[in-house]
Amino acid sequence: AKKSGAAAVVSTTPFYMNIGQEELVNYYEKLADSIDLPLFLYNMPGNTHKHIDPATAAKLAKHPNIVGLKDSSGDPYTFQAYLEALKSFPEFSVLVGPEEILADTLAMGGNGGVTGGANLFPKLYVALFEAFEKGETDRVQELQEVILYLSEQLYQNENYSSSYLKGLKATMSFEGLCQGNLALPLYSYSEGLENRRLALFHYSTFIVRYFKLEDWKIIQKRLLLKAMCGVPRDHVNHIS
């Protein structure tokens, strides 16, 4: 990874085996000792079924090569507990995964986010962070509303537990950033769902790149209605 240009390593907890917090500490310390890149802890209990306790994170923050934590639990209370446990380590970064609570976690004292949508619209997420740094609370809220809209339209499909990854990979493939293939046991959307996602993606792209904040509510309703009605992809340039 370092030879390929990686700046850090993000590591989830081990899964399958039943392990406790002391074993997590031992695991991460040995991992941090064995690599040349800085290490970020990754709390993703929804996938690994293992949770990094805030006290465990505080113990690991003492290691010179463990520099931060990404929390994808989606629970603001868990995020707040990390901030409280790590307040004695100001250089230790606490980042959020789910972009739906990005603004909230920044307000709590978080250092930023590692979000899926930033792969598609990086400037949108940078703009929100910069607005927060400048104290522009109204701007932060407006940009967070756009992020929530993208989340609802691009990632969520109640028919699949894996809808987030399916939606993200599909929309990234529309942008030419990657192929839309998924490793088994996951698989890509059907052609019909792909076409619907493609329509929603292009309208979402229009929103992010061209919308005026004061017209956001009007544009949101108009584009959502058009996308749901199956307006062809090549009509996107004719929306006023």
Report CA-CA distances (Å) from 76 to 58, 71, 98, 118, 239.
18, 10, 10, 20, 38
Point out the catalytic residue in the list 42, 82, 149, 189: 42
For residue 10, give the H/E element and its range: strand 9-12
Reported as a single tens digit per residue, the pLDDT across 131-179 is 999 999 998 998 898 888 888 877 776 677 887 888 788 777 877 888 8
What pLDDT is attached to residue 237? 38
Residue 194 — very low, low, confident or very high, per pLDDT cuts 50/70/90? Answer: low
Yes or no: say if 56 and 21 are a contact pair by the CB < 8 Å rule.
yes
Q: What's the predicted TM-score (pTM) here?
A: 0.81
Mean pLDDT of 36-42: 97
Q: Is 226 a catalytic site residue?
A: no
Point out the catalytic residue in the list 70, 82, 155, 203: 70
**Cis peptide leading into residue 64 (ω within 30°):** no
What pLDDT is attached to residue 196? 60
User: In the chain, pLDDT over 70 holds for what percent of residues?
Assistant: 78
pLDDT above 50: residue 10: yes
What is the distance between the alpha carbons of residues 124 and 114, in angstroms, rounded to a whole number?
13
What is the distance between the alpha carbons of residues 135 and 118, in angstroms, rounded to a whole number?
21
Residue 93 — very low, low, confident or very high, per pLDDT cuts 50/70/90? Answer: very high
Reported as a single tens digit per residue, the pLDDT across 197-235 is 665 665 566 556 545 444 455 455 544 444 444 433 343
Q: Is 42 a catalytic site residue?
A: yes
Mean pLDDT of 105-126: 92
What is the distance between the alpha carbons of residues 164 and 154, in angstroms, rounded to a whole number?
8
Residue 181 — very low, low, confident or very high, per pLDDT cuts 50/70/90? Answer: confident
Closest CA to 94 of 136, 66, 130: 66
